[in-house]
A and B are shown apart, each in its own frame.
Chain A
């Protein structure tokens, strides 16, 4: 019982944390953004080195230091109220390459001790990684588990294994639909259209098709032993052909996802550039989803056993009534 409550709080707390924790860049990010868009502002966190002085244009100029220890002039349109020296702040700002100073648009709040790194092109949208990536992983894990129980069924002919296989596939389908829809929605905002046929989008589409075919096959067969055998065989064949995608896909279409062979624009999400905090949150979320999957499996298995017991008693009671006649 206790672990279900813990699981609930685990996922809820991580979700809130992922959403609430700000994205904060540093001076290098500011300079990088300025190269392709002079007017673009981004969130940046900095410590104040000195209280500063009035600038010649009537604004206010002070020295700020970023998390990496680099300093720069921070320019405010008017003297900011209540800024303390040696304090840190999170501001929306841009880099002015002509004046070689940071133009602060507004102060968002105090210096956040925990923040996700600024990733050009993704920014706040980078947070999808904490939900979308675990879902996608669970899709694949559930499929492998389903296949594993399918193989076990073929070896031992235990109907329980077939049921586990089917339940895992059902959960996999659920995760697959969630991953596809969250990814697609996100792609609309980041890449401009709901579907781009990028290699990973295509892979998950194929997984969706495999799951669909698996359940279409199951619903077409009435004899349970046959259903179990044929669906197990199908999932193994499907699994045997999936690795070919990994090979052929990059040759056919350009990748948009991070980690693709020609990945340039989308930045270092989920690669070496992902910072420690992002990793911790992502892996914690993954753990949460894994436990959620196990829990859902257990619920389904219990439901299955209760149904079996009820149909068994129904079966024996009809037998009894027949023998009474």
Chain B
């Protein structure tokens, strides 16, 4: 099954590299959003804590604009049935999850690097904690959005419902992520963020497990 999943992941990656549909849209989205934030902050002094919120807003909306792509694309092209005939639902879910994971990690690394470069006022006291939180946050976003993307793709809503359905599910992750990032940015003690890190990890485990159990129903008519 892992081999199947990896083959589907490789197919999505090859397809994405060929069309560059999601990548281009996402990169432009990030650049435009950061530019708007920078324009609006000229001459303002903001604490690193306040900028943390902005960072997460950019990450959330970037995820919302691109992460439904892998499932919606299958439905739009009409290849869902082809994939149903090729692989088990498990393999499909795992393959798509891997693709989303790669996309969201790459995307968030890009966002954070750009953010660190452009926002002079944004300083991080604990870089190791900061990057751990970013990684866990990315994993959580990928896990939660994969199943929601599958739902909206099967509902044929072409992505308009994606943020609506995702937001309540992602909110605990966003809250914990923002809280932990603030600690990484403002406080010098790693241990203060321990409860948040535990929560992020258990969120990822719970959401992935539930998704695995339910994906069959979403995938089969």
Which A residues are within 8 Å of any B CB, using their own CB? 154, 206, 209-210, 212-213, 216-217, 220-221, 225-226, 229-230, 232-234, 236-238, 240-242, 244-245, 247-249, 251-252
The answer, among B167, B199, B221, for a CB contact under 8 Å with A209, is B167
Asked if A220 and B157 sit within 8 Å, CB to CB, the answer is yes
Asked if A213 and B214 sit within 8 Å, CB to CB, the answer is no
Residue with the greatest number of chain B CB neighbours at <10 A, chosen from A210, A220, A252: A220
Asked if B176 and A248 sit within 8 Å, CB to CB, the answer is yes
Answer yes or no: B81 CB below 8 A from chain A CBs. no
Q: Please indicate the chain A residues that have their CB under 8 angstroms from the CB of B164 in the complex.
A: 212-213, 216
- Besides A225-B221, A230-B154, A234-B165, 14 new A-B residue pairs in contact (Cβ under 8 A), listed by A number: A209-B171, A212-B164, A213-B164, A217-B161, A226-B154, A233-B218, A237-B147, A237-B169, A237-B211, A241-B169, A241-B206, A244-B202, A247-B199, A251-B179
Asked if B206 and A220 sit within 8 Å, CB to CB, the answer is no
Asked if A234 and B206 sit within 8 Å, CB to CB, the answer is no
Asked if B207 and A240 sit within 8 Å, CB to CB, the answer is yes
User: Nearest chain B CB to A232's CB is how many angstroms away?
Assistant: 8
Asked if B171 and A206 sit within 8 Å, CB to CB, the answer is yes
Q: Please indicate the chain A residues that have their CB under 8 angstroms from the CB of B154 in the complex.
A: 226, 230
| Given A230-B218, A237-B211, A244-B172, residue A220 in contact with residue B161 (CB < 8 A) | yes
Closest B residue, CB atoms, query A247: B199
| Interchain pairs with CB closer than 8 A, number | 97
Asked if A154 and B217 sit within 8 Å, CB to CB, the answer is yes
Which 8 A-B residue pairings sit nearest by Cβ, starting from the closest?
A244-B172, A209-B168, A220-B157, A210-B168, A240-B210, A233-B214, A221-B155, A213-B165
Asked if B151 and A248 sit within 8 Å, CB to CB, the answer is no
Which B residues are within 8 Å of any A CB, using their own CB? 144, 147-148, 151-152, 154-157, 161, 164-165, 167-169, 171-173, 175-176, 179, 195-196, 199, 202-203, 206-207, 210-211, 214, 217-218, 221
Asked if B167 and A236 sit within 8 Å, CB to CB, the answer is no
Once the chains are docked, how many angstroms separate the CA of A159 from the CA of B27?
44
User: Nearest chain B CB to A22's CB is how many angstroms away?
Assistant: 42
Q: Please indicate the chain B residues that have their CB under 8 angstroms from the CB of A240 in the complex.
A: 206-207, 210
Q: Please indicate the chain B residues that have their CB under 8 angstroms from the CB of A206 in the complex.
A: 168, 171
The answer, among B152, B172, B179, for a CB contact under 8 Å with A241, is B172
The answer, among B152, B199, B217, for a CB contact under 8 Å with A229, is B217
The answer, among B165, B203, B214, B221, for a CB contact under 8 Å with A244, is B203
Asked if A249 and B175 sit within 8 Å, CB to CB, the answer is yes
- A sample of 17 inter-chain contacts (CB < 8 A) reads A209-B168, A212-B164, A220-B155, A226-B221, A229-B218, A233-B147, A233-B214, A237-B148, A237-B169, A238-B169, A241-B203, A244-B199, A244-B203, A247-B195, A248-B196, A248-B199, A249-B175
Q: Please indicate the chain A residues that have their CB under 8 angstroms from the CB of B179 in the complex.
A: 248, 251-252
Q: Please indicate the chain B residues that have their CB under 8 angstroms from the CB of A247 in the complex.
A: 195, 199
Closest A residue, CB atoms, query B166: A213
Q: Determine chain B's interface SS by DSSP, over half rule.
A: helix
The answer, among B155, B172, B211, B217, for a CB contact under 8 Å with A248, is B172
Once the chains are docked, how many angstroms separate the CA of A232 from the CA of B147?
13
Once the chains are docked, how many angstroms separate the CA of A254 from the CA of B84?
49
Once the chains are docked, how many angstroms separate the CA of A249 from the CA of B176?
9
Once the chains are docked, how many angstroms separate the CA of A238 from the CA of B179?
21
Asked if A251 and B196 sit within 8 Å, CB to CB, the answer is yes
Q: Please indicate the chain A residues that have their CB under 8 angstroms from the CB of B202 in the complex.
A: 244
Asked if A238 and B196 sit within 8 Å, CB to CB, the answer is no
Q: Please indicate the chain B residues that have their CB under 8 angstroms from the CB of A212 in the complex.
A: 164
Once the chains are docked, how many angstroms separate the CA of A233 from the CA of B216?
10
User: Nearest chain A CB to B205's CB is how many angstroms away?
Assistant: 11
Once the chains are docked, how many angstroms separate the CA of A155 from the CA of B169?
23
User: Nearest chain B CB to A249's CB is how many angstroms away?
Assistant: 7
User: Nearest chain A CB to B177's CB is how many angstroms away?
Assistant: 10
Q: Please indicate the chain A residues that have their CB under 8 angstroms from the CB of B172 in the complex.
A: 241-242, 244-245, 248
Q: Please indicate the chain B residues that have their CB under 8 angstroms from the CB of A210 in the complex.
A: 168
Asked if B171 and A237 sit within 8 Å, CB to CB, the answer is no
User: Nearest chain A CB to B126's CB is how many angstroms away?
Assistant: 18
Q: Please indicate the chain A residues that have their CB under 8 angstroms from the CB of B176 in the complex.
A: 244, 248
Q: Please indicate the chain B residues that have their CB under 8 angstroms from the CB of A252 in the complex.
A: 175, 179
